[in-house]
Amino acid sequence: MVEAKGAPVDELLLDIHGLKTYFYTEEGVGLAVDGVDLQLRPGGTLGLAGESGCGKTMTALSILRLVQSPPGRVVGGKVLFGGRDLLELTEEEMRKIRGKEISMVFQEPMTALNPVLTIGEQISEMIQLHQGMDRRKAMVRVGEMLDLVRIPEARLRIREYPHQLSGGMRQRVMIAMALSCHPKLVIADEPTTALDVTTQAQILDLINRLKREMGVSIILITHNLGVIAEMTESVAIMYAGRVMEWIDGGEIFLRAKHPYTLGLLASFPKMEEDEDRLEAIQGTVPNIYKLLPGCKFSERCKYMSNRCGEEPPLIEVEEGHKIRCWLYTHEGVVY
C-alpha cells in the first residue's frame, strides 16, 4: 500500500482502509462502497464528491456504523479513528462516539429535526446525554451554542419548533447540535444543497469560521464541486463505490486529471466564461447491483481502451494525488 505522504499514520485523525459496505437484497449484492481508502488530518477538511449513488453517503454512514442492516452490512476494511478501529467496537462503545466525538449534519434539516420538540429540547437532550449536565445547565449551554452559530434572539428561539424557522436557521440549529458536545469530527452530508445560494454562502462562511475557532475536522459530502473547491483542502472523487481520484492540498481542480473528474468539471457551470454547448458525460451512473468487471467508468469514458477491461488500481502519481485510471499508470508506481 502507498501511504499518504506528509502525514504519518499516527498523526491522522481518521484513517480508512479498504472499507467495503455491501447490500444484500433480492436483486443480488449491491457493492455500495467497495474498497475505499481515505485519510483525514486533525483540523482538516476532506471533501467527498460524486453523483448520486456513488457511495459517498454510504461511506459516511459506514464510519458511524449507521448503515441500515439488513440489507446493508460493512463487510471489510478498517476505520481507524484516533487509532481505534470503529468497526471493532461494541454497540455500547459506538454510542458514546456518535454525537460526542463524531457528529453528523444532514442535508434536509426539516426531516432530521424532531418536529414535536422545541429547538432547546432537542439540543439539550444531547448535551444531557453525553456531558451528564442537568437540564438547566444544558439549556444555558444551548443558548451559548445558538449564539455561536449566529442565530438572532437565541433566547427566544430556544422555545420555538423547527417549523417556525427558515431553512437557513434550521441548518444553523443542526450545526449547533452537531457541535454541542465538542466533537473531533463532523460529517456534513450535503449541508447546503437544500438552501438558496445566498443562504448557502452564509452557512459555508459559518462552517469555515467554526472550523477555525473550534479546530474541528470536517468531512464534507456534496455533489457541488464549487463548494468542495471553497471548503476543503483534500477531495476524494467517488464513482460506483470507489475513489477514482484523490487530491490533497489547494487548487484541487486545477490539478484534476481523471477522465471522470474532468467530465464533472466540464459539466459544472463556469461563471467567467461564455459557453454555448456543454460537454456532457454520456450515459448514466451504473447500477451497483449490476457492475461489470473492469474500470467502472469505462462505459462512459471517451478514453476507453482494451486495458479498461481490467480494473485499474488507485495509484499515487505525484505527492498528494492519486488516480484510478490506466492513462496515468506510467507516471506513478505500478504495483
Partner 1 sequence: MKDNVLLRVESLHKHYPVHDRFLFRRPQLVYAVDGVSLEINRGETFGLVGESGCGKSTLGRLILCLEEFTSGKIIFDDKVITEHNKVKLRELRREMQIVFQDPYSSLNPRKTAGDIVVEPFIVHHLGDRKERQRQVERLLKVVGLLPEHASRYPHEFSGGQRQRIGIARALALNPKFIILDEPVASLDVSIQAQVINLLKDLQNQYNLTYLFISHDLGVIKRISNRMGVMYLGRIVELGDSRVLFRDPQHPYTKALLSAIPQLIQAKKKKRILLEGDVPSPINLPSGCRFHTRCHYFVEKCKTVDPILEEVSPSHWVACHLHQG
Of 57 and 103, the one with the shorter C-beta distance to partner 1 is 57
CB of 5 to partner 1, least distance (A): 23
In DSSP terms, which residues pair with 243 in a beta bridge? 238
Contact call for residue 224 and partner 1 (CB under 8 A):
yes
**Contact with partner 1 (CB under 8 A) among 27, 88, 205, 310:** 205
**Contact with partner 1 (CB under 8 A) among 113, 154, 188, 229:** 229
**Contact with partner 1 (CB under 8 A) among 198, 290, 306, 330:** 198
Contact call for residue 269 and partner 1 (CB under 8 A):
yes
Contact call for residue 51 and partner 1 (CB under 8 A):
yes
Integer CA distances (angstroms), 292 to 74, 225, 296, in order: 21, 27, 7
The owner of cell 464549487 is: 226
Question: Helical H runs in 132-216?
Answer: 135-148, 154-157, 167-179, 197-214
Are 251 and 233 in contact by the 8 Å Cβ rule? The answer is no
Q: How many residues bind partner 1 (CB under 8 A)?
A: 47
DSSP tag of 233:
S
Integer CA distances (angstroms), 251 to 30, 156, 222, in order: 34, 42, 17
Contact call for residue 277 and partner 1 (CB under 8 A):
yes
Contact call for residue 199 and partner 1 (CB under 8 A):
yes
Stretch that binds partner 1, among 27-35, 74-82, 276-284, 321-329 (CB under 8 A): 276-284
Site for partner 1 in 98-157 (CB under 8 A): 152
CB of 196 to partner 1, least distance (A): 4
Handedness of CA 80, 334, 332, 279 (dihedral sign): negative
Distance CA 235, CA 248 (A): 7
Degrees to nearest 5, angle at CA 150 with 146 and 155: 45
CB of 239 to partner 1, least distance (A): 11
Residues at the site binding partner 1, with contacts judged by CB under 8 A:
51-52, 152, 166-169, 196-202, 204-205, 223-227, 229-230, 250-251, 253-254, 263-272, 274-275, 277-282, 284-285
